[in-house]
């Protein structure tokens, strides 16, 4: 911890996740005296338990999967084995390197004082940290979130995993049971199946990744089932128990037994132990900090960024929160969260790249729609790579020709989606994007063709 330099700062930032350090950099460059407080791990969820370790694990799982498919490409590799200790060590190194970079950056930043400990409000402008009170006219919250644990009978007596603990696992489960059927759950389900575990997914809803269109959900389910993952949806009367090293999950008159249980049923904000009531900062019923379109809270001089404000649960939306606040405070801008066009990805293989509305969401607006769908079996690049699962889809406004949303479930989908995302941010029409001349052979080259097939929905 840095030597305490005095109680008064121009700004206090609580949390060193995606938004906090970048904001500290902008504020100190503007000559402001900044305190940043981190209670545990520099870098936040993305660096420590989210994007970086999980995508490192996904890469290892893909390598194992591709090696097993070597014969499809005329390559003989023999028996494929996975050394989970090496896999885990590789993911850990990715995390430790990134965490160290963030910590070193902050601690070497001129004008920035780093405090390590748990911060709590004692008033609207004052924070208590390690028995010391510090204050500032501007306070920024970047406190992130954690796994939400559902109320399942018997769960409190079971040794279960969350996304935080499973990324440190250095051995292969015999049978991993996953409760949850959304993004985090499915990424771990597929990667551990590819590492060699038996995997069962149990989802209470009627289908996987329920926020997506039904055809996307079904295609994802087919991809997972095709790799030997057992999927149960529409589950009621769920209960769990553990006897020795065996975990039992009971539902609908049947019981699934496994060696490990991952609970991945959503997230909750880290706002319950900040003393927000002492500052008068309002939260909603789920604990998310209420913010306006400029990310200001209910208290003047306090802003909330990232997962804790409920306006985006992604690293890139957290970073965009920083960009909005910095632009408005330092650059005289008037940027708004509502101007953001949301894009994100599901990192199973093949990945799902998404931007804007689903067709179901667009349909609810009542506007006339144009929709086009194209299977990846008609994408040359996918055929050449031998990875033809999935499809691409786009929805547009029939009157204005503005693109409303798109999904690319297929090889390179997480990258190719940006051709549409960028054009949507530029306010371009279908006609403008259709006349682009993309590079051959790529997945992106099919986007103009996809748009040329738009038909009334």
pLDDT in tens, 88-110: 999 999 999 999 999 999 999 99
Task: Tell me what pLDDT residue 2 has.
Answer: 43
- Cα gap 436→430, rounded to integer Å: 10
For residue 405, what are the β-bridge partners?
A: 356, 395
Which residue in this structure is represented by tokens 């086009």? 372
For residue 302, what are the β-bridge partners?
A: 139
Nearest C-alpha neighbor of 24 from the set 81, 96, 127, 106: 106
Task: Tell me what pLDDT residue 1 has.
Answer: 37
Nearest C-alpha neighbor of 263 from the set 249, 245, 252: 249
Do 108 and 36 form a contact (C-beta atoms < 8 A)? Answer: no
Indicate the SS3 state at residue 220: helix
What does the block give as tokens for 376?
Answer: 């990846």
Sign of CA pseudo-dihedral 439, 443, 449, 454:
negative
Give CA angle at 407 (456, 395), nearest 5°: 20
- Cα gap 265→191, rounded to integer Å: 18
Element containing residue 318 per DSSP (H, E): helix 315-330
- Cα gap 314→366, rounded to integer Å: 29
Task: With a cut of 50, list the residues of the chain below it in pLDDT.
Answer: 1-3
Give CA angle at 99 (98, 104), nearest 5°: 100
Task: Tell me what pLDDT residue 3 has.
Answer: 44
Sheet containing 352-356: give its strands across.
343-346, 352-356, 403-409, 391-397, 369-375, 455-456
Other Cβ atoms less than 10 A from the Cβ of 376: the count is 25
Q: How far is CA 350 from CA 199, 213, 408, 417, in A?
A: 18, 17, 10, 13
Going by the DSSP 8-state scheme, the letter that residue 341 receives in this structure is -
Task: Tell me what pLDDT residue 98 has.
Answer: 97
Task: Tell me what pLDDT residue 77 has.
Answer: 87
Do 268 and 145 form a contact (C-beta atoms < 8 A)? Answer: yes
Do 36 and 105 form a contact (C-beta atoms < 8 A)? Answer: no
Do 373 and 456 form a contact (C-beta atoms < 8 A)? Answer: no
Task: Tell me what pLDDT residue 6 has.
Answer: 58
Which residue in this structure is represented by tokens 């798109």? 406
User: What DSSP assignment string belongs to 44-88?
Assistant: HHHHHTSHHHHHHHHHHHHHHHHHHTGGGGT----S----HHHHH
Sign of CA pseudo-dihedral 205, 242, 147, 174:
negative
Q: How far is CA 87 from CA 84, 170, 197, 259, 321, in A?
A: 5, 8, 14, 20, 33
- Cα gap 273→256, rounded to integer Å: 37
Nearest C-alpha neighbor of 54 from the set 127, 174, 148, 162: 162
- Cα gap 392→355, rounded to integer Å: 12
For residue 303, what are the β-bridge partners?
A: 140, 296
- Cα gap 342→112, rounded to integer Å: 32
Q: What is the pLDDT of residues 384-434, one digit of tens each?
A: 999 999 999 999 999 999 999 999 999 999 999 999 999 999 999 999 999
Beta strand segments in 386-441, E = 391-397, 403-409
Q: How far is CA 280 from CA 90, 125, 275, 447, in A?
A: 44, 11, 9, 49
């Amino acid at each position: 911890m840095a030597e305490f330099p005095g109680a008064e700062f121009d700004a206090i930032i609580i949390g060193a996740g995606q938004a906090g350090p970048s904001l500290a950099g902008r504020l100190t460059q503007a000559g402001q005296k900044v305190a940043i407080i981190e209670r545990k791990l520099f870098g936040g969820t993305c660096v420590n338990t989210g994007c970086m370790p999980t995508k490192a694990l996904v890469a290892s799982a893909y390598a194992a999967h591709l090696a097993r498919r070597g014969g499809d490409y005329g390559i003989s590799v023999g028996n494929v084995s996975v050394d989970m200790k090496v896999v885990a060590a590789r993911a850990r190194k990715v995390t430790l390197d990134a965490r160290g970079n963030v910590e070193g950056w902050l601690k070497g930043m001129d004008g920035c004082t780093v405090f390590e400990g748990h911060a709590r409000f004692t008033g609207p402008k004052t924070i208590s940290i390690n028995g010391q009170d510090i204050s500032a006219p501007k306070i920024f919250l970047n406190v992130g979130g954690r796994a939400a644990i559902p109320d399942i009978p018997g769960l409190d007596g079971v040794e279960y995993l969350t996304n935080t603990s499973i990324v440190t696992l250095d051995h292969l489960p015999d049978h991993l049971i996953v409760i949850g059927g959304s993004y985090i759950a499915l990424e771990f389900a597929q990667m551990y199946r590819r590492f060699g575990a038996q995997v069962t997914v149990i989802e209470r809803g009627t289908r996987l990744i329920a926020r997506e269109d039904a055809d996307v959900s079904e295609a994802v389910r087919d991809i997972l089932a095709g790799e030997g993952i057992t999927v149960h949806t529409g589950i009621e009367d769920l209960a769990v128990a553990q006897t020795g090293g065996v975990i039992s999950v009971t539902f609908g008159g049947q019981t699934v037994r496994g060696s490990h249980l991952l609970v991945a049923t959503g997230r909750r904000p880290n706002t319950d132990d900040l003393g927000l009531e002492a500052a008068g900062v309002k939260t909603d019923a789920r604990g998310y900090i209420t913010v306006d379109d400029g990310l200001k809270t209910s208290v003047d001089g306090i802003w909330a960024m990232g997962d804790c404000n409920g306006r985006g649960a992604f690293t890139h939306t957290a970073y965009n929160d920083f960009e909005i606040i910095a632009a408005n405070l330092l650059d005289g801008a008037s940027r708004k969260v509502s101007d953001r066009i949301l894009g994100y990805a599901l990192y199973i293989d093949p990945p799902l790249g998404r931007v804007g509305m689903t067709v179901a969401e667009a349909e609810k607006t009542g506007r006339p729609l144009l929709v086009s769908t194209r299977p990846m079996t008609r994408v040359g690049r996918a055929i050449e790579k031998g990875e033809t699962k999935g499809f691409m889809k786009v929805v547009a406004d029939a009157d204005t020709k503005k693109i409303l949303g798109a999904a690319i479930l297929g090889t390179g989908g997480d990258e190719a989606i940006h051709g549409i995302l960028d054009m949507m941010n530029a306010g371009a029409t279908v006609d403008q994007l259709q006349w682009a001349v993309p590079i051959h052979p790529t997945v992106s080259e099919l986007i103009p063709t996809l748009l040329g097939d738009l038909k009334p929905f």
